[in-house]
């Protein structure tokens, strides 16, 4: 029975297999139009809960950066600035982008802001929401079936199942989200460079983030890479990004987004 389960699970994974923009294999089980609809609904809920920034200078500045980043992507991209102390931003399936005004204290120029927003757009382009949902669905289904067919309902069995669940959380789901974060960094780096933003400012941004940051859990217990790991990864991809940046500048891509 266990063999049949694993055979069925393997078949399911093969059917749902896809590739990300960087060529990494992905498990995608959700229809993209359904995720886009969910993204739009979530964005409306966030807009109802958060205070929307009404300063025209701030809105114009952020919209300028988003317009430059998305010029060649196609589709409709809707950006809203929220008045908040959070130094954060997000992008959702369906082309919805949120930027918290507190980010502007850490992202000190248009290039650094483009690095953050480009990273968030990278999550959407790489269909990371679909991947996360699909992976959690597959993991929970696998654990529930294994519990039903292989582990007795005893104190020892329950402890074993709890350990197995913990292993899935820290051995699969969290490290996988770190992979997604690193991939979004690379996609965002290339996206900002193609738009004419200086990719070297992405490294400066993460130095700023480290200085503004506070305590964080060890990297193996976090869904995000450490600042040092991100900087190292960005620097490794910098030669290619600089080549894209120089080509963009030669074509006249020279953004002038100012606050």
DSSP characters for 141-197? HHHHHHHHHHS-SSHHHHHHHHHHHHHHIIIIIHHHHHHHHHHHHHHHHHHHHHTT-
Residue 201 is among the residues annotated as catalytic for this protein:
no
Six token digits for residue 234: 């960005």
In this structure, what DSSP letter does residue 107 have? S
Could you say which of 68, 120, 183, 233 is catalytic? 120
Q: At what angle do helices 227-236 and 200-212 cross, to 10 degrees?
A: 170
| Edge-to-edge strand ranges of the sheet holding 78-82 | 78-82, 96-100, 89-92
Q: CA triplet 207, 208, 210: central angle to 5 degrees?
A: 65
- Residues forming the active site: 120
């Amino acid at each position: 029975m266990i063999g049949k389960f694993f055979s069925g699970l393997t078949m399911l994974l093969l059917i749902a297999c896809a590739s990300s923009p960087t060529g990494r294999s992905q498990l995608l089980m959700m229809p993209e139009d359904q995720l886009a609809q969910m993204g739009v609904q979530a964005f409306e809920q966030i807009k109802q809960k958060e205070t929307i920034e009404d300063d025209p200078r701030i809105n114009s500045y952020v919209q300028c950066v988003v317009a430059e980043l998305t010029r060649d992507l196609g589709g409709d991209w809707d950006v809203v600035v929220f008045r908040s102390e959070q130094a954060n931003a997000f992008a959702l399936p369906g082309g919805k982008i949120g930027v918290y005004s507190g980010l502007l204290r850490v992202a000190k120029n248009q290039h650094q802001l483009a690095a953050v927003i480009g990273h968030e757009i990278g999550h959407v382009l790489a269909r990371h929401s679909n991947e996360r949902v699909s992976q959690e669905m597959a993991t929970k289904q696998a654990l529930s079936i294994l519990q039903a067919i292989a582990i007795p309902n005893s104190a020892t069995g329950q402890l074993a199942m709890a350990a197995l669940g913990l292993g899935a959380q820290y051995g699969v789901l969290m490290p996988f989200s770190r992979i997604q974060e690193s991939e979004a960094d690379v996609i965002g780096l290339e996206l900002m460079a193609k738009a004419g933003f200086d990719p070297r400012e992405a490294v400066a941004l993460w130095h700023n983030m480290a200085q503004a940051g506070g305590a964080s859990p060890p990297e193996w217990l976090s869904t995000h890479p450490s600042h040092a790991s991100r900087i190292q990864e960005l620097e490794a991809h910098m030669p290619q990004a600089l080549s894209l940046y120089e080509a963009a500048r030669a074509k006249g891509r020279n953004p002038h987004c100012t606050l």
